Structure 1
Amino acid sequence: MNRRTTLAAALTLTAGLALAGCGGDSAPQLKVAAPYMPQPVTQDMAGAFFTVKNSGGAADKLTSVTSDLAKDISIHKTVGNKMEQVNSLAIPANGELELGRGGNHLMFMGLKNKPVKGDKVAIELHFATAKPIKVEVPVKAADYAPKK
């Protein structure tokens, strides 16, 4: 091999290794913080709130939620004074998705039982890229507001 071919091969190998090393950092790294569900005021529906923190270098999306508590769980965002059901919510790379009163949230429709303060509700969050995350959501007082 001549010197030029050797140099080209070395540069190609170095670039390939550098890109392979970056791959691990570019995946979403998701963690759920501060989950809660205000005690429902009706027998039919409830809401849930939490923050999904992404310490990874790639964005992801919350695409669905499952739980034995309700027949249907939908993802909502609030625009102005209007609540809209959406198919997913973005979780930015090195950022977070906040679900809270008056903003993004989950709606549990057709409750199978009405949880009360002190209960824990098991949910599973599903994402476009990351593996599902199981979360135990504590039920708080109906008027609970987390401290910021």
Structure 2
Amino acid sequence: MTNISKSPFMDEIEQAEPPREFSMPYFTSFNGDRDSERHLEHYQSAMILYRNYNDLMCMVFTTTLKGKAQDWFYTLPPQSIRSFNELSLVFTKEYSSYCSIKKKFDHLFNVKKNPKKSLRNYMKRFKTEKAKIVRYNDSIVRAAFQK
């Protein structure tokens, strides 16, 4: 019982039982040195079938944390987390400095092919930069690639 009182989760979350059909998906661990929003998106995608099980979403999320991120979790005040939404908010707030900066579509026009490198290399760099764009239009992407 002393373990529960030290947990950042409310007692209802700590004491909840997982659904009978629950099977733990595979997760990449988060240790605090990567994009927290991306980790959260991956987690929510993997847990899509259980998104309505608030207690389960909270408890399983903590298993994806390791190292400094797990240490951070246990510094949260006891009984301070009531929902997965709250947990998501404090998590992204804590690790917001590691979020990748999204760029606008015009950024793609700055990606140039180096004449000394292969077309394959250019395509790889272009795709990497395209992934950083918030919203893009296919015709603009095509124009930037052809340029």
Give TM-score, length-normalised by structure 1: 0.24
Is the strand fraction higher in 1 or 2? 1
Give TM-score, length-normalised by structure 2: 0.25
